[in-house]
Amino acid sequence: MPFIYYGQGVASLYNEFTEHLMSHLAREGTEITRQVLNPTSAQMHVKRSDETGSLEFAVEGENIKVIYTVERVKKEISTGVMGAVTGAGLGSILGTVLRKGEGLQDTITGAVGGAAAGGATGAYYGYEQSKTERTEFAALLAETIETVETELSDILRDLEEAREATREKAREKMEEDAGTAEEYRVLLEELYGQILAVQEELDVAKGEGAKMEKPKARLDRAEKLYREAQAAFNKKEFSSIKPKVTAAQSMVDKARELMVESG
């Protein structure tokens, strides 16, 4: 009868689960052979002390299922025979039990005769009990799976905390960028308003016959710098906005000065 265990919530770390479990078992004196390792499943043969069996791993949803199938020929004979030794020699019972092709209860009953029927029933009970009770390795496997599950759960928790810290930094950066964006949006709007105002003044002065070539050249330069700053704002290249805005503001101020001189 197989023993079935689950590593809870660690399927995302399947490879780590397999490696950690095999490493722990090896440190406990387990000989691991015939390994077949796949991306989401694995099979292997294990031996520890006098106990041998097979291990299978498989991903099931968020969990990892572990099946241990034990080979217990020696234990079945010893447990069964000890339950049946009533009115018959141990050697004759063993000789009978080891015959092939007959059920264990029938062979023991045949060996000791009708008078030992009660002992044969005890033997069969012992055999059935040996199939369901936890073996030494099964107990070790259960403890080891729990240990590995705890280790990997700690890793998953640390990863989630790291991801949350990254998300928090991203949120803070977005808030910071939003504040910076608002600051530069207002700055660009004010600059554009000044450019439009000076342009209106130039148009009026030109209509009155004043020569405004120099002020217009400064204003054209200011408008070019403004458009470059606006493009940088759209790309969120905030570091290049302020120098352009400062230069454009200087051109606007100079255009006003030249208008006064020309007027």
Query: Are residues 118 and 79 located together in one domain of the fold?
Result: yes
- Could you tell me where the DSSP H helices lie in the chain? 14-27, 73-82, 90-97, 104-112, 117-132, 136-207, 213-234, 241-262
Average pLDDT of span 140-158:
91
Query: Are residues 125 and 249 located together in one domain of the fold?
Result: no
Query: Are residues 48 and 142 located together in one domain of the fold?
Result: yes
Map tokens 């009868």 to a residue.
Answer: 1
Query: Could you tell me if residue 243 is inside a domain?
Result: yes
CA distances from 257 to 126, 208, 209, 219 (A): 110, 18, 18, 11
* Residue at 10: amino acid letter: V
Quote the number of domains for the chain.
3
Query: Are residues 35 and 151 located together in one domain of the fold?
Result: yes
Query: Are residues 183 and 123 located together in one domain of the fold?
Result: no
Whole-number Å distance between alpha carbons of 70 and 46:
9
* Residue at 258: amino acid letter: L
Query: Could you tell me if residue 166 is inside a domain?
Result: no
The answer on pLDDT for 227 being more than 90 is yes
Query: Are residues 241 and 188 located together in one domain of the fold?
Result: yes
pLDDT of residue 173: 80
The answer on pLDDT for 100 being more than 50 is no
Q: How confident is the model at residue 125 (pLDDT cuts 50, 70, 90)?
A: very low
Query: Could you tell me if residue 171 is inside a domain?
Result: no
Query: Could you tell me if residue 196 is inside a domain?
Result: yes
- Among candidate residues 204, 63, 48, the one with its CA nearest the CA of residue 141: 48
The answer on pLDDT for 142 being more than 70 is yes
Query: Could you tell me if residue 149 is inside a domain?
Result: yes
Query: Are residues 189 and 239 located together in one domain of the fold?
Result: yes
Q: Which two tokens stand for residue 124?
A: 């069969």
pLDDT of residue 81: 37
Query: Could you tell me if residue 103 is inside a domain?
Result: yes
Query: Are residues 13 and 42 located together in one domain of the fold?
Result: yes
Task: Give the contacts of 47 (CB within 8 A, at least 6 positions apart).
Answer: 30, 31, 33
Q: What is the pLDDT of residues 84-99, one digit of tens each?
A: 333 333 333 333 333 3
**Axis-axis angle for helices 90-97, 73-82 (nearest 10):** 140
Q: Are 195 and 226 in contact (CB under 8 A)?
A: yes
Domain carrying residue 51? 3-71+134-161
Query: Are residues 82 and 138 located together in one domain of the fold?
Result: no
Q: Which H/E stretch holds residue 31?
A: strand 31-37
Q: How confident is the model at residue 175 (pLDDT cuts 50, 70, 90)?
A: confident
More confident residue, 119 or 239: 239
Query: Could you tell me if residue 170 is inside a domain?
Result: no
Query: Are residues 257 and 206 located together in one domain of the fold?
Result: yes
Q: Are 57 and 65 in contact (CB under 8 A)?
A: yes
- Among candidate residues 89, 106, 107, the one with its CA nearest the CA of residue 97: 107
Query: Are residues 117 and 83 located together in one domain of the fold?
Result: yes
Query: Could you tell me if residue 91 is inside a domain?
Result: yes
Query: Are residues 29 and 99 located together in one domain of the fold?
Result: no
Q: Are 104 and 94 in contact (CB under 8 A)?
A: no
